Amino acid sequence: MKDFYKNLFLFILPLFILGGWFEYKLHRVPNSYNFKRDQLAKVKNEVQAIFLGTSHIHFGIDPSILKEVKGFNLANVGQDIIVDSQLILKLRPNLPSLKYVIWGLDNSSIGSLIQDSVEKWRNHAYRRYYQIAGSDSFISKLDIMNWSAFFLLGQSTSLHFLKNNFKINPVENINSLGFQKSRVKQGFEKKAEKDAADHELLFHQENLVVIKQEILLTKKRLEGKGIKVLFIRTPVHKSYREKLSKKMHNAFDSFKSDLDFIDYPEDLFTTQDFADSHHLNNQGAEKLTVLIEKAISF
C-alpha cells in the first residue's frame, strides 16, 4: 500500500508542477483589466477626469487627445453600471486630483447587468483584479475562476497562449490612458438588426430602478467630495438606433431625468465615424473626445 501511495504521489507531483507553471505564465499575460489598473496607478496623482462605461466608451474616448485636463479611460467591454460605481468609489481615494467623472450610458446599459449575460465571467475578472464584487451573486464567490487564470480565460484561449509561447500581447491596441483602437468591420449595417436584438435580450426592465438608484447614490457621494459627475449618451449608428424597440427608447428617455446629460444630434456622427453599428472607430473617438472637452470646458 505504501508503494501505491508513493507511486501515486510521484505521478501527481509533476502534474502539479506543470499546472502551477501554466497558471503562473497565464497570470503574467496582460489583459484589459490588469493593464488599465496598472496604468492608472502610474498616473493616479495627475488624473483629473475618469471616463466610465461599456465598450462604447472603451473604444470611444481617447484621453490622450485632451488638452486642458489629464484623463483616463476606465471603461471596458461589457462593463455594467454597478461595476462602474464600485470601481470609481473604490479608486477615488487614491485619485487626489480627480475633479470630473464622465459616465457613458446607452439604451442597453441602463437595464443590463453582467450577471445576466453570457459574459458573466467578467465579474470574476473585477473580483480578481480590483477586489470588487460587481453585480455577481454570492455563490459565484466560490467559483474556481476567482483563483485560476486557466478557468477564467477558458481552455481554448489558454492553449492559444501556450501554443504561442505566451508572447501574444492582448493589450497592444490599448494606450497608456486606457483607450483601445478599434478595427472597422465592413458592411456592418447588415448586422445592425442582430446587434440591436442581442442587446434587447440583455435589457431587463426590472433592472432600471436598481441601476438608477446606484447611479444617483454614487453621484451624490462623488459630489460630496467635490467631484462633478456628468453623463453622456454614447453615439450609435443610425442602422442600429432604428432597430431598437420603442420600449428601449422610451426607457432611456425616462431614465435620464435627474442626470446632468451631454447628448448630441443623431446626424453628427456619420458612417465614416463607426467601426460597427454601435462602436465608434478611431476617427469617431477623436471627434467625440474633442466634443466632450468643449462641452465640459475643463
Query: pLDDT tens, 120-133?
Result: 888 888 988 999 98
Q: Summarize the confidence of residues 3-12 as an average pLDDT.
A: 58
pLDDT band at residue 278 under the 50/70/90 scheme: very high
pLDDT of residue 156: 86
DSSP H helical ranges for 224-259: 238-241, 246-255
Q: Nine-digit cell at 109? A: 446599459
Domain boundaries, the chain: 1-25, 31-296
User: φ and ψ at 27, to 5 degrees?
Assistant: -65, -30
Instruction: Spell out the CATH class of 31-296.
Output: alpha beta
Query: pLDDT tens, 215-250?
Result: 999 999 999 999 999 999 999 999 999 999 898 889
137: helix, coil or strand?
A: coil
Q: Summarize the confidence of residues 87-108 as an average pLDDT.
A: 96
pLDDT band at residue 255 under the 50/70/90 scheme: confident
Angle separating helix axes 2-27 and 155-163, nearest 10 degrees: 80
Q: Summarize the confidence of residues 16-45 as an average pLDDT.
A: 86
Residue with cell 495627475: 46
pLDDT of residue 1: 61
CA dist list (Å): 125 to 74, 107, 133, 146, 163: 14, 25, 10, 7, 23
Query: pLDDT tens, 152-176?
Result: 778 888 888 778 887 888 889 999 9
What distance in Å separates the CA atoms of residue 25 and residue 162, rounded to the nearest whole number?
A: 9
pLDDT of residue 19: 65
